[in-house]
């Protein structure tokens, strides 16, 4: 039997894949921007009630479970997590981790919202918390202040992710929780870090601002307060900047006692953990930088935090701690960034602005709550007015109902018989037969008088902002009385906290190099003699090089009107063939901040002349940059009214010549002494170069010497328009820049 041949069909050519070109800008707008906004609005940045959506969904679920009721029993955390997943579509681990931070056991909050039983780890330790099946939770009594009015239409409700339930968009918090509970979040291109304040002090401050919007915050709100205690090194300027702008930083220092030959640390900064401190100490001991310590132990127990540091015989404990403050996170910075969502818009607000925004929000919540109560009372009064008409003839009402053949006609007949509307007639028709007596009806209708008074009072409150404010103030006073606790973080002054943290060492000199791109090299004198061929990034150039003493302080001026201070010892020795340290990363600059001027200072008796692009100039003293403690950053170090065109340092008794040139091609040379001295660092200065409209100063620098060819640019009075600049003269001037 012959085999049948398979029919071979020609292979069909595949169609090429269709590729649609799309500009990257459209991709970002259509794909990346929605994601970014979702992270900012729905995940990372807290709103005016002090919560992120994850916190809000969890606490509202517990509220709906009845865990705020008096004598409510604790339930398994796993049960709460499971119920929360109806509102929060994240995994159970993420929800449980959110809960952990809100618990009393974790000690992350001054006023925890979850009463917990079991192991929930600690804010000051990397200790793992127990699984949700082992722990139990319920809501703390203070949560009643979060939900006050939530069942009276105080806030809006929206559908959950699958439109099967409703959840609140915000909590109608009756105190400024946004400043009481610490909060940290990192979104896309935006971050928020809010420190905590003492509840009693925040209530007093809110009351003071409601009564007087210009009240001095420092009188009622001295400084932040943290659940881990520690000491806050108080600097009025730093705290004032945080209160005013919502940004800034302050130092927190550990609290310790010396018992025998052991240092017992009992409180540490909120920003660190016991493991981080111990690991750092062990590393310092291994590197030989600290030889006075024989052992370090974590002695945390049910009584609270304790870190024990055993010392070798004859060691001065206080001097050692001073070094540890400098070398470990036993002293740490807390950087504030008060980004808050206001009506779904991220805003950077100071403390005064946040409280005022909360006050406006709370007023709206109270108005909605009062209007809800007013509507209910008006509805009740309306029903009682209908019932009062029945009192005129109860027998008639009974007769109407008894003589009506069809049930559907009862309400219309009552409406016709007594001249009442349908709602009132329905209410009368539903009264039980046993209540159709004169005594019951008189008791009910007697309520009308009190209802009318209550309605009039509610209407008056809704019309009077003063009475509304008084209501908020009374609530704040009651909250302070019920929940306020003593301050945990102690406040110490600069002078009290100042310690000589620098170990004694011999003075030395190093060759230093600073580049235009912000790189810093510290080179030994021997090394620079052997090779002075510097490695630089492409397009980079050297702006400073020379020998610097280890006793001098390094001052880095930035384009954001800040000065960062450092010591030579902060940098490691390197070779000329290396790029060196990147200053913005080394000194933790703000985003996009760069170095515009560098100088060294030892006696702080020099002067800095600053020429701005708007043609103004000012001379300020470096004595304003001298500080008692080891502050790394000086904010508002000079005026930010206009960008800086150039900075020139004049040592004591020195008077340098400044070459100034504008974008329009004019130039002038003048002595630094002509630019007026101002004792205030933020002074904007006086007009130095007279500029035409839309013209700006392009550059200003010191001259090492002045040739006759440049003499025609010399001026002895200001302001001065200068003279037309020859390009060759500008090149010559640049070649004489003082390095």
Q: Is the pLDDT of residue 221 over 70?
A: yes
Q: Is the pLDDT of residue 629 over 90?
A: no
Looking at residue 2, what is its pLDDT? 47
Q: Is the pLDDT of residue 359 over 50?
A: yes
Residue 739 banded pLDDT, cuts 50, 70, 90: very low
Looking at residue 735, what is its pLDDT? 63
How far, in Å, CA of 610 to CA of 618, rounded?
A: 5
Q: Is the pLDDT of residue 527 over 50?
A: yes
Q: What is the mean pLDDT of residues 82-99?
A: 91
Q: Is the pLDDT of residue 294 over 80?
A: yes
Point out the catalytic residue in the list 32, 35, 134, 677. Answer: 134
Percent of the chain with pLDDT over 90: 57
Looking at residue 10, what is its pLDDT? 56
How far, in Å, CA of 108 to CA of 95, rounded?
A: 17
Of 563, 637, 647, 636, the C-alpha closest to 612 is 647
Looking at residue 14, what is its pLDDT? 64
Residue 286 banded pLDDT, cuts 50, 70, 90: confident
Q: Is the pLDDT of residue 423 over 80?
A: yes
Q: What is the mean pLDDT of the chain?
A: 88
Q: Is 582 a catalytic residue?
A: no
Looking at residue 429, what is its pLDDT? 85
Q: What is the DSSP string of 403-451?
A: H-SSGGGHHHHHHHHHT--HHHHHHHHTS-GGG-SHHHHHHHHTHHHHH
Domains in the chain (CATH in brackets) are 51-172 (3.90.199.10), 255-329 (3.30.1360.40), 359-482 (1.10.268.10), 505-595 (no CATH), 603-739 (2.120.10.90)
Q: Is the pLDDT of residue 703 over 70?
A: yes
Q: Is the pLDDT of residue 212 over 90?
A: yes
Q: Is the pLDDT of residue 504 over 50?
A: no
Percent of the chain with pLDDT over 70: 94
Task: Identify the bridge partners of residue 619 per DSSP, sorted by sequence position.
Answer: 609, 677
How far, in Å, CA of 252 to CA of 271, rounded?
A: 9
Q: Which of 53-67, 272-286, 520-534, 547-561 has the lowest mean pLDDT?
A: 520-534
How far, in Å, CA of 672 to CA of 678, rounded?
A: 13
Residue 737 banded pLDDT, cuts 50, 70, 90: low
Q: Is the pLDDT of residue 738 over 50?
A: no
Following CA atoms 282, 286, 288, 293 in sequence, which dihedral angle do they give, to the nearest 10 degrees?
40
């Amino acid at each position: 039997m012959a085999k049948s041949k398979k029919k071979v069909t020609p292979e069909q050519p595949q169609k090429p894949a269709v590729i649609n070109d799309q500009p990257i800008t459209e991709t970002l707008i259509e794909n990346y921007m929605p994601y970014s906004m979702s992270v900012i609005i729905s995940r990372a940045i807290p709103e005016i009630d002090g919560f992120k959506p994850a916190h809000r969904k969890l606490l509202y679920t517990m509220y709906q479970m009845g865990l705020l009721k008096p004598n409510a029993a604790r339930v398994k955390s796993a049960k709460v997590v499971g119920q929360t997943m109806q509102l929060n579509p994240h995994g159970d681990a993420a929800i449980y981790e959110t809960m952990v931070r809100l618990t009393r056991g974790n000690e992350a909050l001054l006023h925890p919202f979850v009463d917990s039983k079991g192991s929930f780890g600690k804010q000051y330790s990397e200790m793992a918390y127990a699984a949700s099946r082992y722990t139990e939770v319920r809501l703390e009594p203070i949560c009643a202040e979060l939900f006050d009015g939530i069942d009276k239409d105080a806030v809006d409700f929206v559908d959950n992710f699958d439109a099967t339930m409703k959840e609140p968009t915000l909590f109608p918090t009756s105190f400024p929780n946004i400043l009481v509970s610490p909060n940290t979040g990192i979104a896309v291109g935006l971050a928020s870090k809010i420190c905590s304040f003492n509840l009693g002090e925040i209530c007093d401050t809110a009351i003071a601002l409601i009564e007087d919007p210009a009240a001095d915050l420092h009188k009622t709100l001295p400084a932040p307060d943290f659940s881990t205690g520690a000491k806050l090194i108080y600097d009025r300027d730093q705290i004032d900047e945080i209160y005013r702008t919502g940004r800034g930083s302050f130092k927190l220092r550990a609290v310790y006692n010396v018992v025998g030959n052991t240092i017992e640390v009992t409180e540490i900064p909120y920003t660190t953990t016991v493991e981080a401190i111990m690991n750092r100490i062990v590393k310092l001991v291994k590197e030989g930088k600290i030889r006075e310590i024989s052992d370090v132990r974590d002695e945390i127990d049910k009584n609270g935090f304790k870190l024990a540091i055993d010392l070798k015989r004859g060691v001065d404990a206080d001097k050692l701690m001073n070094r540890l403050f400098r070398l470990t996170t036993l002293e740490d910075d807390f950087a504030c960034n008060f980004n808050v969502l206001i009506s779904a818009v991220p805003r950077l607000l100071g403390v005064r602005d946040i409280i005022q925004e909360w006050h406006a929000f709370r007023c709206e919540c109270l108005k909605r709550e009062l209007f809800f109560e007013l509507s209910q009372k008006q509805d009740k009064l309306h029903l009682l007015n209908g019932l009062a008409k029945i009192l005129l003839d109860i027998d008639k009402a009974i007769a109407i109902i008894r003589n009506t053949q069809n049930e559907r006609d009862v309400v219309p007949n009552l409406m016709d018989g007594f001249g009442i509307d349908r709602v009132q007639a329905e209410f009368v028709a539903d009264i039980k037969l046993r209540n159709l007596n004169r005594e019951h009806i008189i008791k009910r209708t007697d309520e009308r008088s009190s209802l009318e008074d209550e309605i009039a009072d509610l209407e008056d409150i809704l019309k009077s902002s003063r009475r509304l404010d008084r209501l908020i103030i009374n609530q704040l006073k009651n909250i302070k009385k019920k929940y306020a606790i003593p301050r945990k973080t102690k406040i110490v002054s600069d002078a009290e906290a100042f310690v000589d943290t620098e170990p004694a060492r011999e003075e030395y000199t190093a060759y230093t190099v600073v580049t235009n791109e912000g790189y810093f090299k510290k080179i030994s004198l021997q090394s620079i003699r052997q090779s002075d061929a510097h490695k630089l990034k492409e397009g980079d150039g050297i702006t400073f090089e020379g020998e610097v003493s280890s006793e001098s302080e390094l001052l880095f001026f930035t384009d954001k009107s800040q000065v960062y201070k450092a010591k030579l010892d902060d940098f490691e020795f390197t070779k000329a063939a290396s790029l060196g340290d990147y200053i913005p990363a080394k000194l933790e600059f703000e985003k996009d901040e760069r170095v515009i001027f560098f100088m060294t200072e030892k006696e702080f008796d020099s002067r800095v002349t600053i020429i701005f692009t708007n043609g103004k100039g000012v001379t300020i003293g470096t004595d304003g940059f001298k500080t008692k403690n080891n502050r790394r950053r000086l904010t508002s170090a000079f005026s930010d009214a206009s960008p800086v065109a150039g900075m020139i340092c004049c040592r004591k008794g020195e008077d340098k010549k400044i070459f100034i040139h504008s974008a329009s091609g004019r130039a002038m040379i003048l002595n630094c002494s002509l630019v007026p001295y101002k004792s205030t660092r933020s002074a904007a200065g006086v007009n130095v170069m007279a500029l035409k409209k839309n013209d700006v100063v392009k550059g200003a620098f010191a001259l090492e010497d002045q040739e006759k060819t440049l003499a025609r640019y010399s001026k002895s009075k200001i302001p001065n328009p200068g003279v037309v600049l020859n390009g060759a003269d500008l090149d010559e001037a640049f070649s004489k820049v003082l390095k």
